[in-house]
């Protein structure tokens, strides 16, 4: 079994991006600038946004973090987005999800101008992705493809099973895996909470992508020997053994499947760092336009 080391590959990508930024700077060009909006003070969102800001520093990007109170109105949030849309100094904008219940996520995604939508969530960019046109690919699915590519795992003609059909992971990765392009050309089965006989389906997967948000859900009896497993799930579980008071678990029971899998991503250190690296890549692309 080989670990797909997302942390290492993400660091390689960050080094590549830092090299491009350094060349830009030595040619008196401005460094890419990412703006992020965080609503409320949810602990997990705070961790993710801080990691994104830190990653910007690491590669030489500028970043602006706008913090808004939990009870900010939808209109006020959209005003901030419109201001950033018009700010020619800012190349990319992300709004950390999830948002509080009184704010319509779809409206917020649609308010971001597609040319700065480096998360790739705007319907225009999702449509372009589905049509195989150039666009910002959503960061987590793009990170999965990049990881498979850099480990030379060919997906063409393979049976890929995806668990979970969210708009940010499961649905877009299914589209990307099945596209007539490289990487792509996989045969894809997309499963969700209404899927019958899930175990029968996952047992036929050459590549299994798991994104449902239930810790240790996938066990050894659900996978065939030689499978490549991409564990997207991140659950924060209370723990008395760590300094922070919690630990991260994936959707896959790593210990139980590790003898059967040929490749597997760890949690943490697998898909998570790749997501951030691809967000940086999208921001760089935006700044070069």
Work out which of 9, 59, 81, 168 binds ligand NAP, going by CB under 6 A: 168
Q: Minimum distance from CB of 75 to ligand NAP (Å)?
A: 26
Q: Is residue 213 near ligand NAP by the rule CB under 6 A?
A: yes
Residue closer to ligand NAP (CB basis): 81 or 209: 209
Nearest to 178 by CA among 199, 162, 197: 162
Q: Minimum distance from CB of 96 to ligand NAP (Å)?
A: 11
**Is 119 tagged catalytic?**
yes
Q: Minimum distance from CB of 82 to ligand NAP (Å)?
A: 26
Nearest to 272 by CA among 1, 4, 7, 55: 7
Q: Which stretch binds ligand NAP (CB under 6 A): 19-27, 33-41, 190-198, 241-249?
A: 190-198
Displacement of CA 140 from its chain's centroid (Å): 2
Residue closer to ligand NAP (CB basis): 87 or 105: 105
Residue closer to ligand NAP (CB basis): 115 or 195: 195
Which of 14, 96, 117, 251 is labelled catalytic?
96
Residue 257: C-alpha distances to residues 121, 203, 208, 214, 231 (Å): 33, 12, 12, 16, 12
Q: Minimum distance from CB of 87 to ligand NAP (Å)?
A: 27
Q: Is residue 271 near ligand NAP by the rule CB under 6 A?
A: yes
Residue closer to ligand NAP (CB basis): 79 or 104: 104
**Is 52 tagged catalytic?**
yes
Work out which of 11, 85, 195, 219 binds ligand NAP, going by CB under 6 A: 195
Which of 52, 109, 116, 281 is labelled catalytic?
52
Q: Is residue 192 near ligand NAP by the rule CB under 6 A?
A: yes
Displacement of CA 93 from its chain's centroid (Å): 15
Work out which of 178, 198, 201, 285 binds ligand NAP, going by CB under 6 A: 198
Q: Which stretch binds ligand NAP (CB under 6 A): 85-93, 110-118, 157-165, 173-181?
A: 157-165
Cβ atoms of 272 and 234 closer than 8 Å: yes
CA distance 63 to 237: 30
Q: Is residue 191 near ligand NAP by the rule CB under 6 A?
A: yes
- Which residues 222-261 are close enough to bind ligand NAP by CB under 6 A? 232-235
| Catalytic positions | 52, 96, 119
Give contact residues for ligand NAP (rule: CB under 6 A).
Answer: 140, 163-166, 168-170, 191-195, 198, 211-214, 232-235, 271-272, 275
């Amino acid at each position: 079994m080989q670990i797909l080391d997302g942390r290492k590959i993400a660091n390689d990508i960050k080094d590549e991006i830092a090299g491009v930024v350094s060349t830009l700077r030595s040619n008196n060009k401005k460094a890419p600038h990412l703006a992020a909006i965080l609503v409320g003070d949810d602990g997990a969102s705070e961790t993710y946004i801080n990691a994104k800001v830190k990653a910007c520093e690491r590669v030489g990007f500028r970043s602006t973090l706008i913090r808004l109170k939990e009870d900010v109105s939808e209109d006020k949030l959209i005003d901030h987005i419109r201001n950033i849309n018009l700010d020619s100094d800012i190349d990319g904008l992300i709004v950390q999800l999830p948002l509080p219940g009184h704010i319509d996520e779809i409206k917020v995604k649609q308010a971001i101008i597609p040319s700065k939508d480096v998360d790739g969530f705007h319907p225009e960019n999702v449509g372009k992705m589905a049509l195989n046109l150039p666009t910002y690919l959503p960061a987590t699915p793009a990170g999965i493809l990049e990881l498979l590519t850099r480990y030379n795992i060919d997906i063409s003609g393979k049976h890929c099973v995806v668990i979970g059909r969210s708009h940010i992971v499961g649905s877009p990765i299914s589209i990307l895996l099945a596209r007539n392009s490289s990487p792509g050309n996989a045969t894809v089965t997309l499963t969700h909470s209404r899927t019958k006989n899930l175990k029968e389906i996952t047992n036929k997967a050459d590549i299994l992508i798991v994104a449902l948000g239930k810790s240790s859900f996938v066990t050894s009896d659900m996978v065939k020997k030689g499978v490549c497993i991409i564990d997207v799930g991140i659950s924060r579980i209370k723990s008395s053994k760590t300094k922070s008071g919690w630990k991260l678990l994936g959707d896959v029971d790593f210990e139980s499947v590790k003898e059967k899998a040929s490749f597997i991503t760890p949690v943490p250190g697998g898909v998570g760092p790749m997501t951030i690296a691809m967000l940086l890549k999208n921001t760089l692309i935006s700044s070069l336009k």
